Amino acid sequence: MGFCINCGQQHQDGIRFCRFCGNQQPGEQLLARLRSEAEQIHYQRLAASQNQKQNQNQNQNQNQNQQYRQPRW
């Protein structure tokens, strides 16, 4: 069983058009492509958040170095 992407009515798998609203339903290939795109976006966000964390750590290290040098003056 699947759900219409337009009206949300439940219908059988494999149909091409919703029998309630007539909206075309995504086929297996389209669903697979959407899933792979969603995974790519997920991994891109993961990589972006990891890069941000690395940048934050680098900034913290620089601040610590500056604070460490200042008392020697």
The Cα–Cα gap between 50 and 47 comes to: 5
Q: Which of 3, 15, 17, 21 binds Zn ion (CB under 5 A)?
A: 21
Report the residue from 3, 15, 17, 20 that binds Zn ion according to the rule CB under 5 A. Answer: 20
Q: Which of residues 7, 30, 41, 46 is near Zn ion by CB under 5 A?
A: 7
Site for Zn ion in 32-51 (CB under 5 A): none
- Whether 5 and 26 have beta carbons less than 8 Å apart is answered as yes
- What distance in Å separates the CA atoms of residue 71 and residue 19, rounded to the nearest whole number? 77
**H/E run at residue 24:** none
Q: How far apart are CA 25 and CA 33, in angstroms?
A: 14
- From the list 3-11, 32-40, 42-50, 59-67, the region that binds Zn ion by CB under 5 A is 3-11
Question: Which positions touch Zn ion (CB under 5 A)?
Answer: 4, 6-7, 18, 20-21, 23
